[in-house]
A = this chain, B = another copy of it.
Amino acid sequence: MAANTLKDNFHVDYVIRYRYGGNTASACNSTESVGKLETLLRTLAKTGLQTQVRQGDESTLLVFVRATDQSLRRAVYQSRVRDWLYGVRNSEPDPTGDNEVLSEAERLRVIHHMLILPRDEGGAGITPDHGEWKDVVALFPLHDEAVNKKWIKEWSQKTFLSPEDLDQIRNKFGEDVGFYFAFLQSYFRFLVFPALFGFACWMLLGSYSVIYTAINCLWGIVFIEYWKRSEVDLGYRWQTRGVSAVRMTRREFRPESQVRDEHTGELCGVFPASKRIYRQLLQIPFALVAAVGLGIIIATCFAIEIFISEVYNGPLKTYLVFIPTILLSSLVPTMSAVLLTVATRLNEYENYETQDAYHTALTQKIFVINFITSYLPICLTAFVYVPYADRIVPYLDVFRLTVRPFVSKEHASAARADFSIDPARLRNQVIYFTVTAQIVGFAMETIVPYVKQHLLREYKAYRKNNQSNGNGDSSEKTVAYDDPAEEVQFLTRVRNEADLPAYEVTDDFREMCIQFGYLALFSPTWPLVPVSFLINNWVELRSDFFKICIECRRPVPQRCDTIGPWLDSLGFLAWVGSLSSAALVHLFRNGVVAGTPPDISPKGLNNNNKGIEDISGWALLLTLFCSEHLYLAVRYAVRAAMDKFEPPNARRERAARYVMRKRLIESSLNSNPDTPPGETSTEGLEDQITPASLEADARDASLHDTDPTEKFWTHQRGWRESAQIGARIMAQGVQEAKKEK
């Protein structure tokens, strides 16, 4: 298969998109560009890579790169030896590499490693878009169109992907993409149960059922713990377990000082951990700003919406209703983008040493932003609007001032008196986030880029044609780019791929993580949530694959052995879910179902704040307290129980390691010159050994050593004598005992 792909791709491993200015830059830096290109090509050749240059679009060149057999074999061997030494793989690699399949992902990963490894370590040291390599806009492998199409077709007819399908994804796109699809697949498979159960509960028990909530929380725990084990298992299956030990220093890491390591004797850049912690403390104000900033926007829009939809009934209401939605969908993404920029800056300022650490820290920050934007609106409805609307709505008079010109006074006061909490609002909101928003997301993520990409291509072609019509003399060259006939189709495809955006697996993980959050936090409100997600995720898996194949450049394969920070996020969401869903059930169980607001208002005693807090607050807090501790206890039990079962690949791995160790121990003991005779011959030699060797030892010792304590050991020569003496003492003892009687 790999050979086929390379054939379709003209044996090209990587394409480097090189920008030489063209339309945007002036002609004067043309010679500079030529010089830089030469450096690039020479570096590549020196690293053992073959190159071909072709025209890209107006301002770029395409440098095609392939590794020679010899340099590739060497690099693969080097990479495997490193893995072996770091304990990622068990078996010593074979220098010829003939006995082991080289998957496409490994091939591409190794070549990528050759391209980016610093020059003093034998690589080309190319860092796209950075420093010396500012003109290298992109560095990407080419898609394997035939296989991609085949898979898209196959999978659209399947419910579940098989482990072999996942292996294929991993062999094509690398372990990180493989892990994403494995996770999505596990999640999808796990959703079947809550979907069926949720449907049953919806039919029989309605919303806010205690049983559904408990089962849903338990399901969350089991799913997360199951995935933890699957992850380990996959790590063994894909031989990436412990791959984070082979760590690569981040190129952007700025050490504070160079310190010669006293143990290794090497110079290495050091950045004090304490300093990083101080910088990390900035995360606290960041989280606060994010929470307050987004919180204000969301709360304001929310208040406006309530005012307009439920209090206001002046003119233009039909149109005004859209104002909060418009505000929300323009302000929140803007604010998020700003916060994201701040988060990235902050993350860079924290100056992480490895790519992994950088990535984990950034993921955490992004999670904070997403958590607020995704869940705050529902939380506001559930825990502020419904219980306290009676008391909050009067304050919405602030808005009334704004709209006073349009509202007659009587009208307004009548409206206020009429106001009643809309009991369906919470459910509608949950449905919006778990159904509508998912569909919109799918469209935004998959369909829109696809359409955009086609339009862009058409526009480019149109512009090219237009241009060529204008400039008669160079017409043929520019249209066909002067490509050899047999390459036209191929180069067109490469140019299209070069225009695509890069794929970020993090975005897809985030989407799934947020989705899981809705399920864990709010699904008691509408037990059909898992049904919606089940359907959505069937599509999601295919559309994500479609996205990777068609709408993005092929990602460079990266190894990993965990979904890392996302796992923590899932665990956190499940935990918060135990609080949130318990609160929902407690507050709404007797209320909304019957169509009346929940029974949180004071029970006739006194109508001030204290009353509320006293009576219902107590029960609510107790519910939360119990629910959370029940959650933690069950999690502990599930974790302990799951720990007892060793995943199959882990067992296989352990067995392999055991065999390897046993072999090594045996061989190392046999090479030991002191080896005494083996077990089988001992029987025969026993008498010989005892008097001969042992006693000789002892006597030698007593001769050389004038130490009187050695005499102790010469009383009984050999075990037979010891046994005789022992027998005599015993006989004596027994005799004495008899006498005593």
Contact = CB atoms under 8 A, between A and B. Distances in A.
Contact of A95 (B59, B617, B673, B710): B673
Interface in A631-676: 641, 644-646, 651-652, 655-656, 658-659, 661-662, 664-665, 668-669, 671-676
A98 interface: no
Interface string A37-80: 11001101110101111010011010110101111011001100
A319 B463 CA distance: 109
Contact of A707 (B7, B18, B625): B7
A41 B486 contact: no
A154 interface: no
B625 A618 contact: no
A708 B7 CA distance: 9
Interface stretch (A26-34, A308-316, A320-328, A552-560): A26-34
B719 A41 contact: yes
A681 B581 CA distance: 68
Contacts of A708: 486
A478 B45 contact: no
A461 interface: no
Contacts of A734: 20-22, 27, 30
Contact of A697 (B68, B78, B651, B658): B68
B722 A52 contact: yes
A262 to B, nearest CB: 8
Given A34-B726, A723-B41, A69 B718 contact: no
Contacts of A73: 674
A709 B64 CA distance: 13
A27 to B, nearest CB: 5
A1 to B, nearest CB: 16
A645 B274 CA distance: 8
Question: Which secondary structure dominates where chain A touches chain B?
Answer: helix
A657 to B, nearest CB: 9
A718 B61 contact: no
Contact of A726 (B27, B61, B81, B722): B61
Nearest to A80: B668
A729 interface: yes
Given A45-B719, A81-B669, A733-B22, A70 B621 contact: no
A82 B665 contact: yes
Contact of A729 (B55, B674, B716): B55
Interface in A686-731: 686, 689-690, 693-694, 697-698, 707-713, 715-716, 718-720, 722-723, 725-727, 729-731
Copy number in this complex? 2
A264 B658 CA distance: 7
Contacts of A410: none
A474 interface: yes
A122 B679 contact: yes
Contact of A77 (B613, B624, B672): B672
A736 interface: yes
A269 interface: no
Contacts of A676: 48, 70-71, 74
Contacts of A46: 682, 686, 689
A723 B38 contact: yes
Contacts of A37: 723, 726-727, 730
A120 B678 CA distance: 11
Contact of A618 (B22, B70, B617, B722): B617
14 contacts: A34-B726, A45-B686, A45-B690, A45-B719, A46-B689, A55-B733, A70-B693, A74-B676, A78-B669, A86-B661, A120-B679, A264-B662, A614-B614, A618-B621
The 9 tightest CB contacts between A and B, nearest first, are A263-B655, A273-B644, A41-B719, A621-B621, A45-B719, A618-B618, A53-B726, A10-B712, A85-B661
Given A22-B734, A33-B730, A41-B723, 13 more contacts: A37-B723, A46-B689, A53-B725, A61-B729, A70-B693, A70-B697, A74-B676, A82-B661, A87-B87, A273-B645, A274-B645, A471-B736, A614-B618
Interface of A: 7, 10-12, 18, 20-23, 27, 30, 33-34, 37-38, 41-42, 44-46, 48, 50-53, 55, 58-59, 61, 63-64, 66, 68-71, 73-74, 77-78, 81-82, 85-87, 95, 120, 122, 261-264, 273-274, 276-277, 467, 471, 474, 477-478, 484, 486-487, 490, 613-615, 617-618, 621-622, 624-625, 641, 644-646, 651-652, 655-656, 658-659, 661-662, 664-665, 668-669, 671-676, 679, 682, 686, 689-690, 693-694, 697-698, 707-713, 715-716, 718-720, 722-723, 725-727, 729-734, 736-740
